[in-house]
Amino acid sequence: MDSKQLENFAKMSLPKWDELPNSELHLDQVIDLANNYLRPLEVDLLTPTMMHNYLKQAVIIRPQGKLYGRMQLAAVIIIGCLKSILSLDEIKRGFEAELKLTSSRRAYNNFVNAFNEEVQ
């Protein structure tokens, strides 16, 4: 990484659960928001095809109708952070294990706290 990349990375901070939009979002809005959070990581940005794949493989919960909520956005942010080092099946198993122990809100905030601490 060059110094500019390191500088951008050091400024990165994922939003906590309560900082995510609490309104229903369309697919393109979810992708745009997630990509804005993930862009400093310089990972492959999310696409509609990826989102459909995550739904098809049941890595994220299907939305109500065509509207996505905070839970799907949080899951997509985590997937975006982890997909370059873990398989979708491993991420899915991690989600399932974590959600047996705690709420979506707490599980997401635990991930964000650990991520943000490591980045800083």
Burial 96-105 (b: 16+ CB within 10 A, else e): eebeeeeebe
Span 21-39, average pLDDT: 94
Q: Domain for residue 11, yes or no?
A: no
d(CA 55, CA 62): 6
Q: Quote the pLDDT of residue 59.
A: 95
Q: Number of folded domains in the chain?
A: 1
Q: What is the pLDDT of residues 47-74, one digit of tens each?
A: 999 999 999 999 999 998 899 999 999 9
What average pLDDT does this structure show over 83-109? 95
Is residue 81 predicted with pLDDT exceeding 70?
yes
Give the domain range for residue 114: 20-119
Q: Kindly state whether residue 3 falls inside one of the protein's structural domains.
A: no
- Residue 8: predicted pLDDT: 65
CA dihedral for 95, 97, 99, 104, sign (positive or negative): negative
